[in-house]
Structure 1
Amino acid sequence: MRVARVGDGIVRAKLPNGLRVIAKEMHAAPVAALSVWYRVGSRNEHSGITGISHWVEHLMFKGTRRYSEFDLDRLISRNGGVNNAFTWLDFTTYYETLPADKLTLALDLEADRMTNARFDSRAVALERDVILNERQMYENNPAFRLGEEIQAAAFKVHPYGHEIIGYACDLQALTRDDVYAYYRRYYAPNNAVIAVAGDFDARDILAHIERRYGRLKPAPPAPAVAAVEPPQRGERRVVVRGEGDTDYLTLAFHAPAATHADYMAFVALDAVLCGANGLSFFGGGGNNRSSRLSRALVDGGYAADVSGSLVPTLDPFLYTLQATVMAGREVAEVEAKVWAELDRVRRDGVTRAELDKAIKQTRAQLVFSTETATSQAFWLGFSEVIADYTWFTTFLERLMRVSPEDVVCVANRYLTRDNVTVGCYLGQDKANGSA
């Protein structure tokens, strides 16, 4: 095993079978956190198998040859821990937080289900129904329905164009053998990253990981995702009509990947427009009432709320601005106000004082959202998947180097009408005059 101590209590290692490990000692509390990352998500899917990554995640909780589905959760909870998982665009992640002296239990459980998950035919069928019901639940949410249409319109080539949960027709057609083969292809040490943080001696943890995971066999390299979304050459629009008496507006702009040189300036731009959110993964964050769009739309009586989302991704994804239209206002009015603010940034720029305030607020959000062992394990693992650990450890340093001129350049490069997909959700009750 190759080991490198890289500072700030962080140690990185790579096993001969390809498994990457990153560990950070944190001795403030007797707690430890583990996250196991597989480089597979909806980005690795194509038409016919959409939703399969999320389905595999569900089945990883349904038992192995050694442990029943009840044992996995019971062993963690009985030892004072919590666990969960989620599937995302670029990865699937499993995580546990426990008393520090119980960390090896979580490592053993994750090693077992990395290669020994059962995928019982009955469990596969039951989870199909669970996920189809989950999708139906999402379809009752205007934000989901609008977001799905926007992604499909914004991406013509790249698999980011479909939602993580997948299409119902694919979920109904996939078989147990399809799902199991997908698991065998992507769940292997050479396609995984283990991140641990907490009150332990890194040498002891690395030795345990080597003993437990070193004997696992690597899989053939997973197929590369070669799709490259071509530049958008003009504005796209989608309209969704549905239940309710509230309208929603989303502007989605193609945005750079997390490792692109423009990404940090885009983070600063989002903080100016919508408020700081640090490394809050799914967008949102602290109070954004002093941000430009909140003052223009919320204080101006055009929207009940407004937010931005710039998710760090492996490939170029989307920067979205979302607004809930105030009763008595029209979507077109709100859209016009958004464009007016974006035009003002492109034309007049931002002041040094305004940018400094946005960066200061982002710093506060970052510190708050990464102070626990759980969050440290999460962000170290995430960074190793999309780049390397320095993406996380140098985040603030790189943000501090952003200038007002950088923000204006990013605004002019990305926040254009030729690069946008505009989505409107129109409540039918309002449209029919029954509100």
Structure 2
Amino acid sequence: MAPSGNVRHAAGSEPARGGAPARAVTRTLSDDPLGGTVRRTVLPSGLRVLTEAIPAMRSVSFGIWVAVGSRDETGPQAGAAHFLEHLLFKGTKKRSALDISAEIEAVGGETNAFTTKEYTCYYARVLDEDLPLAIDVMCDAVADSVLEPADVETERGVILEEIAMHDDEPGDEVHDLFARAVYGDHPLGRLISGTEETVTPMSRRQIQSFYRRRYTPPQIVIAAAGNLDHAVVVKLVRQALRGTPLDADPAAPAPHRAATPAVRTKPAATVVEPKETEQAHVILGCPGIDRTDERRFALGVLNNVLGGGMSSRLFQEIRERRGLAYSVYSYASQYADSGLFAVYAGCAPGKVDEVLELTRAELARVAAEGITEAELARGKGMSKGSFVLGLEDTGSRMSRLAKGELLYGDLMPVDELLTRVDAVTLDDVNALAAELLGRPMSLAVVGPFDEGAFSVSR
């Protein structure tokens, strides 16, 4: 996304360049014909509050997003961000773990959280009339968790079970194996959950230190979407944070994560995890582009054409025509300073060679010959449709607000995004395909094979 520039300033005054506002600063983003009114307030502490008012809804999704993920950990800290995600629902000075869950569930709401490589999110979805409760409970949990030693030990056991469960899911494990093949020891190549070796010795003091150093107002974005009033949300947030560690001295919001220097990736490699499975799981791919690269819209179209749906080339060739795999798709992952592009397939072990041969042939064909005008139109239609249809609920709209602010520093209007997709040309896609698909490919395999069973060129 790129800055839209479509902003009207409202109450308050902008802070001096590089400085913190003396009081809350609010601005209204352009009203979106495909949504509601989006407003943004920067509190004196540097914490940001964004809302999208959608009067036709009877629910509200409320999220607290922190610009901290697994890539922000040192080696010995691996898994700290995810560990903390578990612990913040275990109790505060005002509420027990049961109180936190029971208060939301008593009004039919739901809460959850997730950790990624670059951010962590805590969210609730409730009826509009119960938004004040959700704000109070969620702000209390994120801002003022006590991290009791007994809870640390309980959740350590839960996380170790989660890691073991993940190891029993080869379809998930192969993605982590591929990331490690591309990024090596870089934090982007590590498991978000950490490993048994890092989680087992992690102390409460380490987690507490990570919590208080990383969870600061300039690193936090609060987003809400649904039937709400922006001014009321801001007021309730300030009330809920009063007297907590997030009720901090004036500061400027942290800038979004820098895109430079680019992450150094490993030379193309083959990694195999021997495992007695009924199905083999394979990923063939390479380093991609970062999330601010102007070619990301062309990449979305290319991904749709190659393996983004049932009409894609890989799905048609490998599943529909030959019946070699039940699941086959391509995907792109994008970070502030790097990215991945890959093809996944799950198939019988005896069919891996043929699946890989067909996949390599199709990637080489698109790199050399490009895609067709018909495929370009279909790929653009898929990109636009999936984006707009993905905005049909308050949760996805809340996520869009937070990610725009946290990852890009601004929110691209829906119409502008659709225009950017429409502007993608055949030359744009084919030039990207020639560059991206011509790169050396890494291979990750989980299945009943010896470690030396595959080579990069096989």
Q: Which of 382, 393, 397 pairs up with 2:403?
A: 382
Change (3 A) 1:19 1:118: same
Change (3 A) 1:228 1:46: farther
Aligned residue in 2 for 1:403: 425
Q: Is the 8 Å Cα contact of residues 72 and 109 (structure 1) preserved in structure 2?
A: yes
In 2: Cα distance, 1:392 partner to 1:90 partner:
23
Q: Secondary structure at the match of 1:84?
A: strand
Aligned residue in 2 for 1:5: 28
Q: Which of 130, 133, 137 pairs up with 2:165?
A: 137
Q: Does 1:262 align with 2:295?
A: yes
- For structure 2, the residue ranges without an aligned partner over 5 or more in a row are 1-23, 32-36, 453-458
Q: Does 1:196 align with 2:227?
A: no
Q: Is the 8 Å Cα contact of residues 271 and 443 (structure 2) preserved in structure 1?
A: yes
In 1: Cα distance, 2:115 partner to 2:218 partner:
19
Deviation at 1:391, TM superposition (A): 4.2
Q: Is the 8 Å Cα contact of residues 140 and 240 (structure 2) preserved in structure 1?
A: no
Aligned residue in 2 for 1:33: 61
Q: Secondary structure at the match of 1:63?
A: coil
In 1: Cα distance, 2:385 partner to 2:58 partner:
25
Q: Is the 8 Å Cα contact of residues 240 and 426 (structure 1) preserved in structure 2?
A: yes
Q: Does 1:314 align with 2:342?
A: no
Deviation at 1:219, TM superposition (A): 10
Q: Is the 8 Å Cα contact of residues 282 and 446 (structure 2) preserved in structure 1?
A: yes
Q: Which of 326, 336, 346 pairs up with 1:324?
A: 346
Q: Give the 5 Å matches for 1:85-100.
A: 85-100=113-128
Q: Give the 5 Å matches for 1:204-215.
A: 204-213=232-241
Q: Secondary structure at the match of 1:390?
A: coil
Q: Does 1:372 align with 2:393?
A: yes
Aligned residue in 1 for 2:9: none
Q: Is the 8 Å Cα contact of residues 40 and 53 (structure 1) preserved in structure 2?
A: yes
Aligned residue in 2 for 1:293: 314
Change (3 A) 1:227 1:218: farther
In 2: Cα distance, 1:227 partner to 1:240 partner:
31
55-64 vs 156-165, which deviates more? 156-165
Q: Is the 8 Å Cα contact of residues 151 and 161 (structure 1) preserved in structure 2?
A: yes
In 2: Cα distance, 1:305 partner to 1:143 partner:
10
User: CA deviation digits over 1:46-97, x for unaligned, max 9?
Assistant: 2111111000000001000001100111111112211111011111101111
- For structure 1, the residue ranges without an aligned partner over 5 or more in a row are 276-287
Aligned residue in 1 for 2:201: 173
In 2: Cα distance, 1:75 partner to 1:392 partner:
35
Aligned residue in 1 for 2:276: 243
Q: Is the 8 Å Cα contact of residues 330 and 342 (structure 2) preserved in structure 1?
A: yes
In 1: Cα distance, 2:163 partner to 2:100 partner:
26
What amino acid is aligned across from residue 166 of structure 2 in structure 1?
A: Y
Q: Is the 8 Å Cα contact of residues 152 and 162 (structure 1) preserved in structure 2?
A: yes
Q: Is the 8 Å Cα contact of residues 157 and 228 (structure 1) preserved in structure 2?
A: no
Q: Is the 8 Å Cα contact of residues 379 and 392 (structure 1) preserved in structure 2?
A: no
What amino acid is aligned across from residue 415 of structure 1 in structure 2?
A: L
Q: Is the 8 Å Cα contact of residues 2 and 14 (structure 1) preserved in structure 2?
A: yes
Change (3 A) 1:328 1:68: same
In 1: Cα distance, 2:300 partner to 2:161 partner:
36
Deviation at 1:272, TM superposition (A): 0.6
Aligned residue in 1 for 2:46: 18
Change (3 A) 1:391 1:237: farther
Q: Secondary structure at the match of 1:124?
A: helix
In 1: Cα distance, 2:380 partner to 2:409 partner:
23
Q: Does 1:104 align with 2:135?
A: no
Deviation at 1:385, TM superposition (A): 1.2
User: CA deviation digits over 1:159-204, x for unaligned, max 9?
Assistant: 1010101121110111010011111111222210001111122222
In 2: Cα distance, 1:328 partner to 1:141 partner:
20
Q: Give aligned pairs, total.
A: 415
Aligned residue in 2 for 1:281: none
Aligned residue in 1 for 2:264: 230
Change (3 A) 1:163 1:132: same
Q: Does 1:217 align with 2:243?
A: no
Q: Which of 326, 336, 343 pairs up with 1:304?
A: 326
Q: Report sequence identity in percent.
A: 29
What amino acid is aligned across from residue 400 of structure 1 in structure 2?
A: D
In 2: Cα distance, 1:391 partner to 1:43 partner:
26
User: CA deviation digits over 1:95-127, x for unaligned, max 9?
Assistant: 111111211211112222233101000100111
In 2: Cα distance, 1:53 partner to 1:214 partner:
24
Q: Which of 152, 155, 159 pairs up with 1:124?
A: 152
138-147 vs 172-181, which deviates more? 138-147
Q: Secondary structure at the match of 1:311?
A: strand
Deviation at 1:147, TM superposition (A): 2.5
Q: Is the 8 Å Cα contact of residues 185 and 222 (structure 1) preserved in structure 2?
A: no
Q: Does 1:51 align with 2:58?
A: no
Q: Does 1:363 align with 2:391?
A: no
Change (3 A) 1:167 1:416: farther
Deviation at 1:392, TM superposition (A): 6.6
23-32 vs 108-117, which deviates more? 108-117
Q: Is the 8 Å Cα contact of residues 64 and 118 (structure 1) preserved in structure 2?
A: yes
Q: Is the 8 Å Cα contact of residues 44 and 250 (structure 2) preserved in structure 1?
A: no
In 1: Cα distance, 2:429 partner to 2:403 partner:
25
In 2: Cα distance, 1:50 partner to 1:262 partner:
32
Q: Is the 8 Å Cα contact of residues 160 and 317 (structure 1) preserved in structure 2?
A: no
What amino acid is aligned across from residue 398 of structure 1 in structure 2?
A: R
What amino acid is aligned across from residue 252 of structure 1 in structure 2?
A: G
In 2: Cα distance, 1:169 partner to 1:227 partner:
30
Q: Is the 8 Å Cα contact of residues 50 and 402 (structure 2) preserved in structure 1?
A: yes
380-389 vs 115-124, which deviates more? 380-389
In 2: Cα distance, 1:218 partner to 1:92 partner:
23
Q: Is the 8 Å Cα contact of residues 123 and 138 (structure 2) preserved in structure 1?
A: no
20-29 vs 391-400, which deviates more? 391-400
TM-score (norm 1): 0.89
What amino acid is aligned across from residue 316 of structure 1 in structure 2?
A: S
Change (3 A) 1:383 1:355: same
Q: Does 1:337 align with 2:348?
A: no
Deviation at 1:29, TM superposition (A): 2.0
Superposition CA RMSD, Å: 2.4
